[in-house]
């Protein structure tokens, strides 16, 4: 057994046991496990073969910790905020659509059905929003995500080119990131979080964030993902628009430095792939052009089935609309949500996105209204979460992520921010 393996298992036990006293440690450990997937890494594989279930153990330990420490936890103004209620409504809508739709055939034998997977996502997400309830814990969560991106970026940097698939980086990180586009979207969404930690940190933290940002950007480039590129462009535009007035100059300067860094690691293969982006179908390559046909088919599915075809049933239905695309993915979060969950599910999803933005803006405006320097952290977090969500949800235009955990974790982070802000006001006796 290697030293790295012993170090990993020691961390696993520390975070699992520690979560009984400090539930946020379980949240951190679970997120790290989700992003890095140590069970599929050489140092974690021996323990996985012994029967260790890392994410399950961390989740259960965290739940027990929440029960044991429930009197110490602070839930802000309510046990469930409005956005959390609508997350539960979406889960109910998903199960309702599942029960009234045809059975899913031959797809999820070895993996959880989307309804089961999403139920697990909701359970962990609600644990996160009830545990990460102050700015220090939220900062710790940001460091965990930045650290995971750094580890994945370093692994991507060290992989020989011969291990690439069709010139693209594949099979890095957790199960949700096995495909290049998903991995690129995740890494791109981590860049605003790394950038804000850079602004908030002393000199040694800034050095760590510079290294993290460099490896993260390089990994995005190696994925050759057009969707991630479009997401980064959208994120850059939003950064200029939504940057807090007080910190706008620093953020714009950091954005310029980041753009220079991106250009410095860009290669010709990446540029050639980006140049294939077009809205004119006659100028698209086969991969890009097929997406429009799939989206048209998904829209027709919705027209034929306004209540949805059922979670997980896209693959068994697409062949009826485009026979040569039998079993092919939708390549769009929004199209798949519309087709599988129908008008009810899609409306709830859209409303959740709006509530997420509403929570962010409300927290920012309240922090500005109070006008105290100690609230700068909340402005930083507001900005990072906003830009990360914009990047990921832009990538979701061409990537199917409706049942992907990171999408829902980022979508619900505004609840953590709002709860942290409400708790801060209560602790400091400040009022709006």
d(CA 389, CA 384): 8
pLDDT tens across the length of the chain (432 residues):
678 778 888 899 999 999 999 999 999 999 999 999 888 887 788 888 887 888 999 999 999 999 999 999 999 888 999 999 999 999 999 999 999 999 888 777 668 899 999 999 999 999 999 999 999 999 999 999 999 999 999 998 888 776 676 767 777 878 788 788 899 999 999 999 999 999 999 999 999 999 999 999 999 988 888 888 999 999 999 998 888 877 788 888 888 888 887 777 777 666 766 666 655 555 555 566 788 899 999 999 999 999 999 999 999 999 999 999 888 899 999 999 999 999 999 999 999 999 999 999 999 999 988 877 778 899 999 999 999 999 999 999 999 999 999 999 999 999 999 999 999 998 887 665
Identify any residues that bridge with 165 across adjacent strands, giving them in sequence order: 168
Query: In the prediction, which pLDDT does 286 show?
Result: 58
Query: What's the CA gap between 404 and 408, in Å, rounded?
Result: 7
Question: Please, is 403 exposed, middle or buried when counting C-beta atoms within 10 Å of its C-beta (0-12, 13-18, 19+)?
Answer: buried
Sign of CA dihedral 386, 391, 392, 394: positive
Pick the closest to residue 81 from 417, 350, 357, 415 (CA basis). 415
For the chain, domain boundaries: 1-73, 75-277+332-428
Assigned token pair, 191: 């860049």
Q: Which two tokens stand for residue 10?
A: 């020691």
* pLDDT at position 378: 93
């Amino acid at each position: 057994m290697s030293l790295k393996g012993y170090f990993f298992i020691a961390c696993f036990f520390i975070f699992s046991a520690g979560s009984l006293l400090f539930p946020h440690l379980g949240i951190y450990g679970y997120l790290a496990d989700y992003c890095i997937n140590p069970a599929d890494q050489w140092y974690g594989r021996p323990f996985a073969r012994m029967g260790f279930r890392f994410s399950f153990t961390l989740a259960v330990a965290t739940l027990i910790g929440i029960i044991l420490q429930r009197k110490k936890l602070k839930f802000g103004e309510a046990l469930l905020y409005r956005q959390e209620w609508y997350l539960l409504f979406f889960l109910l809508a998903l199960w309702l659509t599942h029960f009234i739709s045809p059975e899913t055939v031959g797809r999820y034998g070895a993996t959880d059905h989307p309804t089961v997977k999403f139920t697990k996502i909701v359970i962990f997400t609600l644990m996160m929003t009830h545990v990460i309830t102050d700015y220090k814990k939220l900062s710790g969560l940001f460091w965990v995500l930045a650290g995971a991106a750094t580890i994945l970026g370093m692994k991507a940097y060290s992989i020989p080119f011969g291990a690439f698939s069709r010139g693209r980086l594949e099979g890095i990180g957790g199960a949700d990131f096995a495909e290049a586009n998903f991995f690129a979207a995740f890494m791109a969404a981590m860049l605003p979080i790394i950038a804000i930690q850079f602004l908030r940190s002393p000199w040694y933290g800034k050095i760590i964030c510079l290294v993290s940002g460099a490896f993260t950007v390089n990994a995005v480039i190696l994925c050759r993902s057009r969707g991630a590129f479009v997401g980064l462009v959208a994120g850059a535009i939003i950064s200029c628009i939504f940057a807090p007035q007080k910190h706008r100059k620093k953020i714009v300067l950091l954005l310029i430095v980041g753009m220079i860094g991106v250009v410095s690691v860009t290669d010709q293969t990446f540029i050639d792939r980006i140049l294939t982006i077009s809205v004119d179908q006659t100028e698209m390559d086969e991969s890009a052009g097929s997406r429009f046909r799939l989206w048209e088919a998904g829209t027709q599915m919705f027209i034929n089935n306004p209540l949805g075809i059922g979670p997980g049933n896209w693959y068994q239905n697409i062949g009826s609309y485009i026979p040569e695309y039998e079993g092919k993915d939708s390549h769009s979060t929004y199209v798949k949500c519309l087709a599988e969950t129908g008008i009810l599910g899609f409306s709830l999803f859209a409303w959740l996105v709006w509530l997420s933005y509403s929570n962010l803006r409300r927290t920012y405006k309240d922090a500005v209204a109070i006008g105290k320097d100690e609230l700068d952290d909340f402005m930083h977090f507001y900005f990072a979460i906003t830009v990360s969500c914009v990047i990921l949800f832009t990538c979701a235009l061409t990537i199917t992520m409706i049942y992907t955990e990171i999408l829902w974790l980022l979508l619900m982070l505004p609840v953590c921010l709002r709860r942290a802000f409400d708790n801060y006001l209560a602790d400091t006796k400040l009022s709006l």
